[in-house]
Amino acid sequence: MFSAYRDAVAEMGPYIGLSHYVWGESKQGEAEGQKGEVITRIVAARSVDFVTLAGRGGAIAEAFRAARPPVPTDEQKAAGESSMGEPTPTPKLTLESLRKEHPEIIEALHKEFENDATRKEAQAQQEKKLAETEKALDEAKAEIARLKEAQLLVEANAFVEAKVKASTLPEISKARVTEALSRDPVIKDGTIDETAYAAKIEATIKAEAEYLAKLGAGKVSGMGGSAAPEKTLEETDKELVVGFMKLGMSEAEAKAAARGR
């Protein structure tokens, strides 16, 4: 404190405050009933000044003016300039002067940059781990879906086999119907809808029996009407081949169709 102001400041102490010029960090928020930028951290300080407080009627400003040294006259200014040369200009703040006069600010800024780089690296690592976790989760979900689908197909095959086995279709027709129906189960809420699936199977068996009858492949029992003697698999296959050939297929094509290929 310069001597010209020391007593005045001591006297005005209860009525004045301090204002500081600092570097800091802030964020949008609310404090003391007001919304706006809220200071969260002080990085470094440049200067501290005495200031008057609002609502004091200008008495403090008058006291400071009274405490100031008298303003020199034009003659005194001229004399001072002639004896001391040009007035000393206010030094310009540069990075070099900042390094020399306030190394603590430079150090604080360096630490801030290092901390920022560390935070960015940590954030990048977290984002990488998150991406890897999400990828693994997606792969796990896909695997679970695949296994669930495979399990449903296994259950569907067993369900169809049980229904088709009870029919009197030729074995080769049973195999063809079972294979076709097992690949297309009726699903409801993630499980087999047994009622709807059974109806679909019965309709397919009936359609297959009617198709075989039209081909002249012998009487299929279990479809109503008078019973007929069961034919051997070989006899049934031969009749299927003949029926397919009647539809315009070659002998090789008819045999392949009878085998269900």
* pLDDT band (50, 70, 90) for residue 107: confident
For residue 120, what is the enclosing H or E element?
helix 103-165
Least confident window among 6-15, 111-120, 172-181, 191-200? 6-15
CA torsion angle 256 258 259 261 (round to 10): 50
For residue 18, what are the β-bridge partners?
A: 50
Residue 165, pLDDT > 80, answer yes
Residue 228, pLDDT > 50, answer no
pLDDT in tens, 60-93: 555 555 555 566 667 766 665 555 555 555 566 6
Task: Using DSSP, state whether 243 is helix, strand or coil.
Answer: helix
- The sign of the dihedral angle between the CA atoms of 181, 187, 192, 198 is negative
The confidence score (pLDDT) of residue 24 equals 84
Average pLDDT over residues 143-151: 86
Task: Using DSSP, state whether 24 is helix, strand or coil.
Answer: strand
